[in-house]
Structure 1
């Protein structure tokens, strides 16, 4: 299987608000990293990268949408998510003066690095163009109509075009 390189396509309206270097802004990267932390914090590094690939693949289907808007459609941002407060509060370093970072903080720092790489187009896509995924222990109705493109960790990934539920 050949690997695709994820390349973000900047939206025309967003081009003027990008930093001079052309990279993603800090707010986009932060939201992206929090999405990775919220959706894949129990996964391996490759599993987190796979979820980042799904975000970028969904963004490619909607060239006018901001990556942060795509991210906020994931279940981790749902108002009824019990971990939503932790998602909003996690920081990439430990409490001030502690000199030690928690496991959540270390994982969030990793998610920040992955989000930066993905948003800059520097992350390979291990999912085969997937826009959907689910945990191996469940089988959503939409999954019966699609063939998996990858299995990474405990998740199955699927490539689907517009109109398929996310």
Structure 2
């Protein structure tokens, strides 16, 4: 699969929006969840095509929702602090380039523990990891 500069940038922006407070290991875990969707083995995946397509699939990663407070930063309307973004780019590159193993055990979903309650899908999915403020799952119905 060809990975474009846009794919790298959108993945890094998604990591900033979804996991910037989780440290490098937490961002790597979120990035692997996205990579697991990208490489799901299907010709035309429901998740979207490539990293940018998966990250920006409507209503999959809330930071890309137009009403999310992170969106002005992800869209470029406001600048992301350079130091924070450098960590996000590092995590994105490590996952895209296969330099870090998958700590999520094949997860395709996660939710933030800061949510008022877990999403309904989590009840029937297999939890693979709890790390920082995220809980990761696979085999989501």
The TM-score bracket by the shorter chain reads 0.7 to 0.9
Give the structure with the larger helix fraction: 2
Q: Secondary structure at the match of 2:21?
A: coil
Residue 53 in structure 1 maps to residue 20 in structure 2: no
What are the residue-to-residue correspondences of 1:7-156 with 2, within 5 Å? 10=1, 18=2, 24-61=3-40, 62-64=42-44, 65-73=49-57, 74-89=61-76, 90-91=79-80, 104-137=81-114, 138-156=117-135
Give me the CA root mean square deviation. Answer: 1.7
Identify unmatched segments of 5+ residues in structure 2.
none
Q: 1: distance between equivalents of 2:35 and 2:50? A: 10
Identify unmatched segments of 5+ residues in structure 1.
1-9, 11-17, 19-23, 92-103
Runs of 4+ off more than 4 Å: none
Matched residue pairs, number?
A: 129
TM-score, length basis structure 2? 0.82
Kindly indicate whether structure 1 or structure 2 has the higher relative contact order, using CA contacts under 8 Å at least 6 residues apart: 1
Q: Which of 159, 162, 165 is 2:138 aligned to?
A: 159
Q: What's the offset of the Cα at 1:63?
A: 4.9
TM-score, length basis structure 1? 0.71
- Spell out, residue by residue over 1:4-32, the C-alpha distance to the aligned partner (whole angstroms, 9 max, x if none): xxxxxx1xxxxxxx4xxxxx321111111
